[in-house]
Structure 1
């Protein structure tokens, strides 16, 4: 019996301990869930605050846009009202003026009718002199009424002219300005056309002359003569005089025939320097007209080779053997720095 009691007591104690452990665990889970709920609530409140701030900013911008739109609308409405009032006043004045003209025409017609009726009524009972007096009076009255009507019409016409005349003058001024602009444009166009025509003709002439010059420079005889003339011009510009400081085309005999250098420069102490002009332009002109960089480089390479060939040929002539007073070298003149 005692064993059963202790067993039951143990079971009760175990149940109590198990319940306490489970309760502690449940309490811990509840605390954790409460903490999560608090954090989520704080995050939600932060988002709500941000949303509220954004909503407030949107409302503020909306209010600014609405106020500006209302102000613009009010301004447009005021302008429209002013324009409408001005148009109504103009139409009213126009209608009043037309009505006045109609009234004056009607008054003139009535006065004429009354005068005619009066004249008819008195014509049968009035003598000729009375008739004349009445006609005179009627004429004076009619002229007076007509003058007054014309005066009113003149005033109306002057008022209308006062409104229309500035506009007519402005239109006239604008028309004159347009005509002047058109005249100026036509003159400028004619001058431009003439200048373009002259420029085109000059360009064509320059192209033709350039083509002729290129053709001439490709001819060896013309090219050589040009080099000789350029050499002479250079030494003359340097202050040298022919037959005194230099001699052109001096011919001497050799075993291989006659040689003739282009220029002999006379130096002090009887010394001489032989100068020969060489113009190698075939490859150089090809380089100038080349359409590609590779073609230009190839042509310039040929040009350099031709210059080197002229140097070798000129050195082989040994001018110093025929001209004892000349040093053992010959000056080769190339008429242009760009050819180097």
Structure 2
């Protein structure tokens, strides 16, 4: 009998020679990432200096953690920090499950034409500019807008939705869900497309209800995707959108609408305090990195090894 020798494992040089075309396709993405993501990191040095545009980064005096201390001991720190945590946490808790529910509902629509029309309606708000969204919100919830016109049948005077600190988070989160939930459900719909229809047929024959089939067939399929997206969402919990929060701000709702991104914009670009705003932004980024690492470890333990790394 001839002796069959085991295949020798390719080293990296041999593997590169056989697959060099793949690496060539990767080069533009790597170059762009280095240019636009890694090289700008040098600017973070500003956070540790008394930066002056006339002196430049290298010529500015080193002050260490002075700007971080000033931010952490400022009277506004606790309010701004808690506003950011509350707004992003509520947005995550309320908004994260919505795309999953939408995907599960869309998966039950069997007529392709109807399903496409529903998806078109759900995806459309994602392509509307944030500026237009905020303009629509101001028109809808103004004292003479449609919402207050309807409520006038039940109340004697209009409700100041856009100037009340109590309604800011509700408007921000609900409008965000309306705008992005449909588009965010795409990845879940794609994952559910891989479910073998025979599994549902077999479960139906065995007497499983719709809810039981969703729990025991669809959700286990979505579990890896949910785990990864949840980790990324928790890791970016401090990076809540700046544009809409800033555009929805009024002088009356600042107690709840002032968050770290809007505070950085005002101190950095409007007031010209570049070093201080860079320190606040770096503080925000460090918290995001810590949350990402913690979330990855927690989800990895709770989901039987599903994680980013």
TM-score bracket for the superposition, by shorter chain length: under 0.3
Higher helix share: 1
Higher relative contact order (CA 8 A, sep 6+): 2
- TM-score for both structures, normalised by structure 1: 0.18
